[in-house]
Structure 1
Amino acid sequence: MAKRKRTQNASVPDERTQNTLLPQKKHYRQRAHANPFSDHTLDYPSAPEHIDWAADHFPAFSGTGKTPEFADVGCGFGGLLITLAPLFPDTLMLGMEIRVQVTQYVQDRITALRATSSVASTSTLTPTAYQNVSVVRANAMKFLPNYFSKHSLSSLFFLFPDPHFKSRKHKARIISPTLLAEYAYVMRPGGIVYTITDVRDLHDWMRSHLDAFPLFESVDEETLRLEGKGPILDAVYTSTEEGKKVERNKGEKWLACFRRIEATRRN
């Protein structure tokens, strides 16, 4: 009997090879949440201009002068970043995660995806797929302006953040009047803040604080989809571990999006 010829290019990794290269979460055990007020012994830049983004994070973009435009605060296992990276190949994206093992998982995941996609010549992915995404271990509540300069971000994501249910813990919530001033500083006018949660109380909290802040205005989902942001919204809903867990449990998701506006547009 004649042997069946292989139709797949030998240099293209099959699904089994890709699954072997990708890290497995079971090797990166970590608590679900971390106290943002604790001393986590973090290294952080003194200012955004002191970061060599090309050398340390995005070597494929060396010489372009590009800096991150999308930031996922509390990126978890990187689901949003990995989903958006091929959709916006020319946009640099940075995940910020405070937990050691989770950050390491995302770093290893990006490294593996870069390695497999670089040889996938017959794939729909480009040879530079996932070169536009990276992650840092950082406490965004303390050091966000150390990473991003004024008006540098076009999208800022807060997806299924820690709800901190107890009233005495509300000060640890990622949305607060003080922190909103920093978010407004790094967001460019017209940029969008995306929030989503399965906790109605937290949704109301985030929405009310953002709505009260003078440099943000609410924008509905329909408007954003008409503006071409449908792929981003779809990823916000479905790409994260928490989002998938909510779906499995048949829970409800609460979305709230806000646009950064010019200071003169609101009284």
Structure 2
Amino acid sequence: MGKRKRTTAATATTTTSSDLPLLPQKKHYRQRAHANPFSDHSLQYPIAPHAIDWSVHYPAFSGTGKAPEFADVGCGFGGLLIALAPIFPDTLMLGMEIRVQVSQYVQDRIAALRVTGQADDPDSTSYQNVSIVRANAMKFLPNYFSKNSLSALFFLFPDPHFKSRKHKARIISPTLLAEYAYVLRPGGIVYTITDVKDLHDWMRVHLSAFPLFEPVDEETLRSEGKGPIIDAVYTSTEEGKKVERNGGEKWLACFRRIECH
């Protein structure tokens, strides 16, 4: 039996309500779990944030002047984006994923969900507020986001890079924290979670040492109304669900961007 043809963004947009697209299946998009961020990748990236036409990503918000406020770095199969989209319908969210097949899956998934939502309600903006780019965030993050433009930055179950010589490839590192502080607005939150205690300690120590970030506990964030975000951070990703199935522990650490003094 031949491989089932997947629904792509192109075919999803031409599907009628009587023949809705099936959601893409992960088994058709699988590839290795991680990619080397220092390798050369065939990537196209904007010269600067002002050069991006966000209406291509968020057509329902065309003409509003809106740009992404949430960024999920290494978004994987898009679980966080899909979970948060209906909770914050007026907030634009962007996933960044370096792997070709995985980023294509998220793109196809969003396209199918948009068509399904519009079939049920022609005026629906379901999932119109989420999108994805294939990008190496370690190299090109400032090409996508302006200074102080983000209110939330997510690093969920990142590659632990266990070997000491690979620690420079960790997504939380002293050389990258200045970029994260640059794109986050004062009051914005960095959310990190992992099932690797050593990596949790590494991220917590480096973020705590950076002068523009201060730790903020889960209870405080929930009291500020960010409980739905915390819940999605814990449970929405494929990695998080795998940890739960295996009875593993998850380590959460969050940090607030503070004002320069």
Same fold (TM over 0.5): yes
Counterparts of 2:76 and 2:41 in 1: how far apart (Å)?
Answer: 17
Aligned position for 2:65 = 65
TM-score by length of 1: 0.90
Counterparts of 2:75 and 2:131 in 1: how far apart (Å)?
Answer: 11
Give the C-alpha shift of residue 178 in structure 1. Answer: 1.2
Q: Match for 1:77: what amino acid?
A: F
Give the C-alpha shift of residue 12 in structure 1. Answer: 7.3
Matches within 5 A, 1:82-121: 82-121=82-121
**Structure 2, gaps ≥5 residues long:** 1-15
Counterparts of 1:21 and 1:52 in 2: how far apart (Å)?
Answer: 28
Q: Secondary structure at the match of 1:39?
A: coil
2:28 corresponds to 1:31: no
Counterparts of 2:207 and 2:195 in 1: how far apart (Å)?
Answer: 18
Give the C-alpha shift of residue 43 in structure 1. Answer: 0.4
**Structure 1, gaps ≥5 residues long:** 1-10
Counterparts of 1:136 and 1:85 in 2: how far apart (Å)?
Answer: 16
Q: Secondary structure at the match of 1:111?
A: helix
Counterparts of 2:135 and 2:224 in 1: how far apart (Å)?
Answer: 32
Counterparts of 1:214 and 1:98 in 2: how far apart (Å)?
Answer: 29
Amino-acid identity (%): 83
Aligned position for 2:7 = none
TM-score by length of 2: 0.92
Aligned position for 1:165 = 162
Which residue, out of 216, 221, 245, partners 2:213? 216
Structure 1 contact 67–92 (Cα < 8 Å) conserved: yes
Deviations 1:99-125 (A, max 9, x none): 000000000000000000112239xxx
Q: Secondary structure at the match of 1:189?
A: strand
2:42 corresponds to 1:41: yes
Q: Match for 1:188: what amino acid?
A: R
Structure 1 contact 191–260 (Cα < 8 Å) conserved: yes
Q: Match for 1:137: what amino acid?
A: R
Deviation beyond 3 Å, 4+ runs, structure 1 = none
Q: Secondary structure at the match of 1:36?
A: coil
Q: Secondary structure at the match of 1:65?
A: coil
Structure 1 contact 80–235 (Cα < 8 Å) conserved: yes
Aligned position for 2:22 = 21
Aligned-pair Cα RMSD in Å: 1.4
Structure 1 contact 28–102 (Cα < 8 Å) conserved: yes
Matches within 5 A, 1:236-255: 236-255=233-252
Number of equivalences: 246
Matches within 5 A, 1:124-163: 127-163=124-160
Counterparts of 1:263 and 1:108 in 2: how far apart (Å)?
Answer: 41
Which residue, out of 209, 220, 225, partners 2:222? 225
Give the C-alpha shift of residue 22 in structure 1. Answer: 0.2
Q: Match for 1:199: what amino acid?
A: V
Q: Secondary structure at the match of 2:204?
A: helix
2:184 corresponds to 1:187: yes
Structure 1 contact 12–121 (Cα < 8 Å) conserved: no
Of structures 1 and 2, the larger Rg is shown by 1
Counterparts of 1:70 and 1:100 in 2: how far apart (Å)?
Answer: 22
